[in-house]
Amino acid sequence: MTISEIHSIFLSCDGVATDTRKITSNCFYVALKGENFDANSFAKEALQNGAAYALIDNEDYYLDDRTILTEDSLATLQELAKYHRKFLNLPIIAITGSNGKTTTKETVAAVLSKKYKIKATVGNLNNHIGVPLTLLSFNEGTELGIVEMGANHQKEIEFLCSLATPDFGYITNFGLAHLEGFGGYEGVIKGKSEMYTYLSTSNKMAFVNFDDPIQKDKTSQIQRYSFSENDHKADLLFSDVQAKPFVQLIANGLVIQSQLLGLYNAENIKAAIAIGSYFEVNSRDIKDAVEHYVPTNNRSQMIAIKEHSVILDAYNANPSSMATALQNFKQLEGDSKIAILGDMFELGNEGEKEHKNIIESLLSSDIEVYFVGKHFFKERVKNDTFRFYETFDEFSTALRHLSIQKSTILIKGSRGMALERTLELL
């Protein structure tokens, strides 16, 4: 069966599912093999639960004409998404970077939805499976698509761009993330810049933060729409940018007061405002969208628990985002401040040095710090305000016996640490 024929079948369905627990009536089920299971074995169950068709790549599970047999379900899903993208031919904005991808994507979506019917990546479905699923969620009523792209090795962004063929691209930053897969910081720049290579060769447009000299330099030969606080040659200028603790700035002559914490989120907000301005969203609508956007999913959330003010930023962490979050935390007002920091993963040979750097950056501060995880524990030092725990269980046991007075608390760590569990303990 050709991709065109499969696409016709897909159009007759209502959505795509790769998990039998999320089957909806008349959906298109795609059986993807995992490390510990063969989803082909769930095709019958998917059809019984309401799926209209099941795409499989194991003939042992072929049932009837509702099962579509292919050589490789994942490759077919990706080709189907690529075909669907060309079929719709709508403008697509791609967003990648080391930090802030999801927050930027959600803020951009909030701004653009003031004028357009938009669809965007749900959550962080931003890899070789998530991007195809995002593309397949777009339909003929979608006026603008926003695709988040994540990567932890070379050539991944290049591949995702080949599927989504974006018309516009934005890189949030180049940070110390996924160093193991990328092969160091220079590898991060090279890998993320694959988006710039695509935009350049395809004669597409980049949104560029002129205050980042690396990005400004790398886009000099690309069509671009720029923004800046300092460079008056930029297309859009911002002023009076501050975070006390929420980001506030002036854009298009309007004061915009966000609900996002820390100057590290200022870049995400500025990108959303710039992209909205390029697409001619009314300035007051941009202001309204930014001011009403509230972060979720453990990203820079301000939560009140008893007498404590908790900054929950536990969705993920790398040396760049950790250092920036701590810099912002140090500047916050408050008599008692506590940081609960979890290990940072995927750093390869740089792990020991980067965990040590974070510890040393806090030696002269008055912040009480709880370090959680074997990487921080390995680099432990003696300090009156530091406590080190090798596992979360050890930390949780200790925390239950501690009496914490009214404090401002930062919680940050890599996804695998799941430090949001700390909320229950508090």
214-225 tens-digit pLDDT: 999 999 999 999
Average confidence (pLDDT) over 185-198:
93
CATH topology for 90-292 is: UDP-N-acetylmuramoyl-L-alanine:D-glutamate ligase (3.40.1190)
Half-sphere exposure of 324 (CA within 13 A, CB side): 21
306-361 tens-digit pLDDT: 899 999 989 888 898 899 899 989 988 777 999 999 999 989 899 999 999 999 99
Residues 151 and 174 sit within 8 Å (Cβ to Cβ): no
- Which pair of structure tokens corresponds to residue 83? 């075909």
pLDDT at 376 over 90: yes
Average confidence (pLDDT) over 68-78:
97
383-415 tens-digit pLDDT: 999 999 999 999 999 998 888 889 999 999 999
Q: Which of 172, 221, 227 is nearest to 199 (CA)?
A: 221
- Which pair of structure tokens corresponds to residue 344? 């940072």
Q: Which residues pair with 56 in a beta bridge?
A: 69
Predicted local confidence at residue 263, as pLDDT? 85
- The C-alpha atoms of residue 421 and residue 415 are separated, in whole angstroms, by 12
Residue 99 φ/ψ, nearest 5 degrees: -135, 150
Residues 134 and 146 sit within 8 Å (Cβ to Cβ): no
Query: Which residues in the chain are classed under CATH 3.40.1190.10?
Result: 90-292
Query: Which residues in the chain are classed under CATH 3.40.1390.10?
Result: 3-72
Tell me which amino acid residue 33 is. Answer: K
CATH architecture of 3-72: 3-Layer(aba) Sandwich (3.40)
CATH architecture of 301-425: Alpha-Beta Complex (3.90)
Average pLDDT, the chain: 94
119-168 tens-digit pLDDT: 999 987 999 999 999 999 999 999 999 999 999 889 999 999 999 999 99
- The C-alpha atoms of residue 266 and residue 370 are separated, in whole angstroms, by 27
Predicted local confidence at residue 335, as pLDDT? 75
% pLDDT > 90, the chain: 80
Predicted local confidence at residue 282, as pLDDT? 97
Strand, coil or helix: what is 342? strand
Residues 276 and 286 sit within 8 Å (Cβ to Cβ): yes
Predicted local confidence at residue 236, as pLDDT? 98
Average confidence (pLDDT) over 50-56:
97
Predicted local confidence at residue 293, as pLDDT? 96
Predicted local confidence at residue 147, as pLDDT? 98
- The C-alpha atoms of residue 257 and residue 291 are separated, in whole angstroms, by 6
pLDDT at 377 over 80: yes
Predicted local confidence at residue 316, as pLDDT? 85
Who has greater pLDDT, 320 or 118? Answer: 118
Predicted local confidence at residue 260, as pLDDT? 92
- The C-alpha atoms of residue 426 and residue 244 are separated, in whole angstroms, by 25
Tell me which amino acid residue 260 is. Answer: L
Query: Which residues in the chain are classed under CATH 3.90.190.20?
Result: 301-425
Residues 344 and 368 sit within 8 Å (Cβ to Cβ): no
